[in-house]
Structure 1
Amino acid sequence: MERLLAAGGLTQFYGKMFLIYSGANTCIIGYDGNQEAKVMSTLRAARTIWNGCNGRVSNLSMQKLLYLSHMLELGAGRDGLVSQNFEAWDYGPVEPGLYHYLKAYGSNYIPDVFSSSAYDENDPEYESISEVIRQLGDVPASKLVAITHWEEGAWSKHYIPGMRRVTIPDEDILEEYNLRAKGA
């Protein structure tokens, strides 16, 4: 961690998580202590979503499209797309590291700020993201919020009005996938 901090950049701490911004396009996330920092796999998924939406995506829409893509990944028996758990915020599931990385853009479309490459068409993650983009990429953010606020879903189980840092466990996201797959 000392090497990263010595390199300069803005550092923000969120509980045990930290973000280091070094330059306009880099976001590194890691854990306090002796663990090695790692580049977020979340940024690779976000880049893929951004590309699939031709750059016409806000932070709010990005969060919901990422959540739904993550859900498909879990439903396919894979590890998911994010390095940090989703949390239950007022407007639905949020990956907090990505939110803080993109919050400066407000409700505007996000510019090309992703330093990581997108998933390749041969990557299994690409399939999940592409399916979500195909079905929901043009849907307004308000509709995506309504989809992720499903009363049987993982967000509803964990949401406490006005609270942040309420984790949505992947097990509950997978349960939501299974319920949606059954047509509940």
Structure 2
Amino acid sequence: FGNGEDLTEQAVASYVAKYATKAAETTGTVDRRVGNREALVLLDIPDHTRRLIEACFDLHPLYPDRRLLAWAHMLGFRGHFSTKSRRYSTTLGALRQVRVDYRAAQQREALGLPDPDDHPEATTLTLAHWTYAGHGHTPGESWLAANIHRDIQQARETAREARADLTDNEGEW
């Protein structure tokens, strides 16, 4: 912590939790492996993220079994940050469901809606009527799909021609 704060257990736990609850790409890292420090110069990543990746490079020789070099682009994490035992703990699915229920209750309260569990006599009316609508594209959808296909083909052809021109003219600079 470069701002003079004390390095406490709480500060470290907060720092780890901040990154453990985010996907690595939200920190500005890349979605592919970084081979070496020199490659970091070419990547447009934030300074803090670069330092975290460099830390993985620095720590890899000390902890080779953790494969920090291979997972440096993910800031050293290679999957879920936590593993939960179904026998001794809860599951991530159960935690997600608690969060969904909490958010739903918050939304009901904000909108002034009753909790359906408080009214056992309340029912949900479901209307379902199925009819055959046909198959395939409508004439308008067919026209649109054909035009999209044509545009893609033209773009590919233009790209092929541009690559061929670059290859033909490489020695003329």
TM (norm. structure 2) is 0.23
Larger radius of gyration: 2
Highest RCO, 1 vs 2 (Cα 8 Å, sep ≥ 6): 1
Higher helix share: 2
Higher strand share: 1
TM (norm. structure 1) is 0.22
